[in-house]
Amino acid sequence: MVLLYMIFMFNIALSFLLLLLALYLTKKKNLSREKNSPFECGFDPKNSSRAPFSMRFFLITVIFLVFDVEIILLLPYLVSSGLSSDIFSLAGSLTVVLILTMGTVHEWAQGSLYWSMKNE
């Protein structure tokens, strides 16, 4: 029973020692009121308050999402096309694909699909 008590006390002491060591090692050395206070809108004042934003990246993301939704809308036709050969569903699917193709050609002609500007 004494051995169990000694092991228990050793575990408590070791846990407390490791806790103190962790607190000492992670303590910030240069505490300053200005460095530790958040900026007006919540940004960390040690880092840049302005993050660069690429409008081209946003545009390509939106284009990808539109095509992704259109593909999801066309998937049921691919599954059901083996079950029936309805000319109206085929014409509807081809119309959607034609509109998507025309939209892609238009975006390509406008230069929206290029990552960098042509003039740069």
Give the domain ranges of the chain. Answer: 1-51, 55-110
Percentage of the chain modeled with pLDDT above 90: 14
Q: Using H for helix, E for strand and C for coil, what is the string for the chain?
A: CHHHHHHHHHHHHHHHHHHHHHHHHHCCCCCCHHHHCCCCCCCCCCCCCCCCCCHHHHHHHHHHHHHHHHHHHHHHHHHHCCCCCCHHHHHHHHHHHHHHHHHHHHHHHHCCCCCCCCCC
Summarize pLDDT for 57-105 with one digit per residue, the tens: 777 788 888 888 878 877 777 776 666 667 777 787 788 888 888 888 8
Residue 115, pLDDT score: 67
